[in-house]
Chain A
């Protein structure tokens, strides 16, 4: 037996709940700080991340250069700022370009049904059968080191989740009495999507997008780390990690910086979860 369920026969206006939990606020502050760093960092530091001063290689942190210099004498803070900007922007763009078509195709499949739904579902299953990272590897194999194959690959691997979640949830919603009532009252698809489907779908999409964003940042770093993602000297978090790994003994703060940036970004995204998760 589940818990007691007595009918709510008196409707009480609940006291206005706190909009965000403590953890959510912490996540927002963290992501906000990282976002500001990525957005304005490169400009504030004002040093070209590719400029080499070989005589200063592995120089320790100082007031003027808070993270010191890397193995080629490039300012580490400048590289970190540019790396954060690149990784986060790329992740945001790939998440959006997966979420938007995924959602639209999911709505279309649920609405139309029939052969169109079957074709789309089969295509989605086919993409899902390939591990996402493998798909990206496949694409990058043709043009190694490029930005576009990375972006297209990650989006292509990620849209399936949005499609599947939106299709499944929409099918249930479209069969519900409130949508039936709306149709009888003469409302068209735009209204039904806007008032009946999206308000239900958005919280789930938000959850998916958080995980998708974290996944994209990680995937890009992983690809950079194994050397098929963006190539040096591009300041990208994963590329920086692989470049700096050999100097772990002499200058642990160098590899620590991109690792910590990535860790804090993912932590922020996870903290952003509503207290009652919906997905």
Chain B
């Protein structure tokens, strides 16, 4: 046992994750002091989640693990993941990403938290329920105690999941992508939650690609790239003066540091693609919006803004003709074919037929419209996608690659208007910048209009010519 093991909440020594002979993660060593925080920053595919799984002792079957993991002074061989299972919830806990999916949909919030108090911590059920109620109240969730997960907002679900994983008093928590897909307001809530945990004396290992979060959390920062830790140090220092090329690229990909695309490419406001007059839509008794007017011209980038639930996606679908408005009129330029209106979806994994190989899906498209396969190949090359990827099923390709394939598929149709619905909210900054660069390049060269929904106001500031604001009617009676 070496020196820091006695004081560190978590120490990892020479950890590697292997698949056959191939090292997916290699030579990882770090230590988190008790009460400290380490943020692991890296793009998807860099191995940061594998590292977390290795520490938990929860790697999928074909993967092997080497090195040592020291938790609260107890050293275990990294390969013996089972030895760390007994400590789950008590000594180390994991807050999964997108916790609203991880919560049990059939249990009330209070019971879900009480379950950890009763089954992991060994309290009697009655006491566990009281403890759960108190814990919920401490995070301002007393009114949610009897609700089911689907009745909660994303931020509330995250706090509930935090309580459920934390209930047995684990002093060390691994947090996986806590801000993935959240808007600025909710990201602030997450930060507050993590800071409160830190104030209680917990040690945190936070896995993220959110540079803003890394900056706010402070503490230690480690940058992962292709399975290795390429830079490690004090967060403020690494962010201010990155030593590695890749870290610099990662930081430059943060939308806050994008050059203003709009100023460099003033949009020519001619050639109306879509004219929207006084459109309204409601779901049941809930009025989403009414009296929305908009004109979208060729080559224009228009952002749709508004709080979540204000009907941004619905508005885009109305423009595309996927949804019929309750009132008002949508006029699409008459010379355009229906396929000139395309959409890029938030979750690329859901945008392809799940059991059909990508090559087949794309071949069907090329065949249907009598297109040229070489044209598609050229697009894929431009997006730096290996042709071999097409022989996989959609779920076997990473989100960033799949989104680029989805983009290629859309561009192949020579669209006049693309509705991009949170196109990069599930991607890491470098891939996000890539996807936007490709999208914007097409907008400029082909004078295609772009209707953009994103929660990231920095992206809007950088690229959008105009905004359509929804949501001011949300509370008003009809």
Would you give the 0/1 interface string for A194-214, flagging 1 where the beta carbon is closer than 8 Å to chain B?
011001100000000000000
Closest Cβ of chain B to A17, distance in Å, is 11
- Contact residues of B between 337 and 355, Cβ < 8 Å to A: 338-339, 341-343, 345, 347, 350-355
Q: Mark B326-342, 1 if CB is under 8 A from A, else 0.
A: 00000000000011011
A13 at the interface (CB under 8 A from B): yes
Contact status B104-A12, CB under 8 Å = no
Are A9 and B355 touching (Cβ within 8 A)? no
Contact indicator per residue, chain A 203-237, by CB within 8 Å of chain B (1) or not (0): 00000000000000000000000000000000000
| A7–B356 touching, CB < 8 Å | no
Instruction: Kindly provide the distance from the CB of B19 to the nearest chain A CB, expressed in whole angstroms.
Output: 6
B210 CB-CB contact with A under 8 Å: no
Asked if B397 is an interface residue, CB under 8 A from chain A, the answer is yes
* Minimum CB–CB distance for B320 against chain A, Å: 7
Cβ of B364 and Cβ of A10 under 8 Å apart?
no
Determine, out of A46-54, A144-152, A185-193, the stretch whose residues face the partner at the interface. Answer: A185-193
A191 vs B361: C-alpha distance in the bound complex, in angstroms? 10
> Which of B50, B165, B353, B398 is within 8 Å of A178, CB to CB?
B353
Q: What residues on A are CB-neighbors of B350 within 8 Å?
A: 176-178
Residue B103 at the chain A interface, CB threshold 8 Å: yes
> Does A9 lie within 8 Å of B102, measured CB to CB?
no
Given contacts A2-B102, A187-B364, A191-B368, contact A200 B176 (CB under 8 A): no
Task: Chain B residues near A12: list those with CB within 8 A.
Answer: 19, 24, 60, 62-63
Give B283 Cβ to nearest chain A Cβ, in Å: 14
Chain A residues contacting B60 (CB-CB under 8 Å) are 12
In chain B, positions 167-192 with a C-beta closer than 8 Å to chain A are 176-177
**In the complex, A182 has a CB within 8 A of chain B:** yes
From the candidates A11, A183, A195, name the one contacting B398 in the complex (CB within 8 A): A11
Q: Mark contacts of A22-63 with chain B using CB atoms, 8 A cut-off: 1 yes-contact digit, 0 otherwise.
A: 000000000000000000000000000000000000000000
Judged by a CB distance under 8 angstroms, whether B242 is at the interface is: no
Chain B CB within 8 A of A1 CB: yes
What residues of B have a CB within 8 angstroms of the CB of A177 in the complex? 345, 347, 350-351
What is the number of contacts between chain A and chain B, taking CB atoms within 8 Å?
119
Residues in A whose Cβ lies below 8 Å from that of B115? 1
User: Closest approach, in angstroms, between the C-beta of A188 and any C-beta of chain B?
Assistant: 9
Contact A5-B398, Cβ < 8 Å, known A195-B364, A199-B356: no
Contacts of B351 in A (CB 8 A): 177-178, 181
B368 lies within 8 A of A6 (CB): no
Chain A residues within 8 Å of B19, by CB: 12
Q: Do A184 and B342 have beta carbons less than 8 Å apart?
A: yes
**Residue-wise interface mask of B (243-261) relative to A, using a CB-CB cutoff of 8 A (1 in contact, 0 not):** 0000000000000000000
B48 within 8 Å of A (CB atoms) = yes
Query: Chain B residue with minimal CB distance to A181?
Result: B351
A186 to B338, CA, bound (A): 8
> Are A11 and B345 within 8 A (Cβ)?
no
A-contact 0/1 string along B82-123, CB 8 Å cutoff? 000000000000101110011110000000100110000000
Whether B343 and A181, one on each chain, are in contact in the complex, defined by CB atoms closer than 8 angstroms, is: yes
Q: Is B126 engaged at the interface, CB distance under 8 Å to the other chain?
A: no
Nearest residue, chain A, Cβ from B428: A9
Contact at A10–B355, with CB atoms within 8 Å? no
Chain A residues within 8 Å of B430, by CB: none
**A125 interfacial by beta-carbon distance below 8 Å:** no
Q: Does B382 contact A (CB under 8 A)?
A: no
Contact B49 A6, beta carbon cutoff 8 Å: yes
CB contacts (< 8 Å) of A196 on chain B: these are 353
Q: Does the CB pair B345–A186 fall under 8 Å?
A: no
CB distance A10 to B342 under 8 Å? no
Q: A1-B103, A181-B343 are in contact. Are A7 and B44 (CB under 8 A)?
A: yes
B418, chain A: closest CB distance, angstroms = 10
Comparing B51-59, B296-304, B373-381, B442-450, the segment that makes contact with chain A is B51-59
Assess whether B164 is interfacial by the CB under 8 Å rule: yes
Report B-chain residues with C-beta under 8 Å of the C-beta of A9: 44-50, 398
Listed residue (B164, B341, B396) with the most chain A CB atoms within 10 angstroms of its CB = B396
- Tell whether A2 pairs with B103 under 8 Å between CB atoms, given A12-B19, A184-B320, A185-B409: yes
Q: Which chain B residue shows the least CB distance to A191?
A: B364
Nearest A-chain residue to B337, judged by Cβ: A186
B476: Cβ under 8 A from any A Cβ? no
Residues of chain A whose beta carbon lies under 8 Å from any beta carbon of chain B: 1-2, 4-15, 176-178, 180-187, 191, 195-196, 199-200
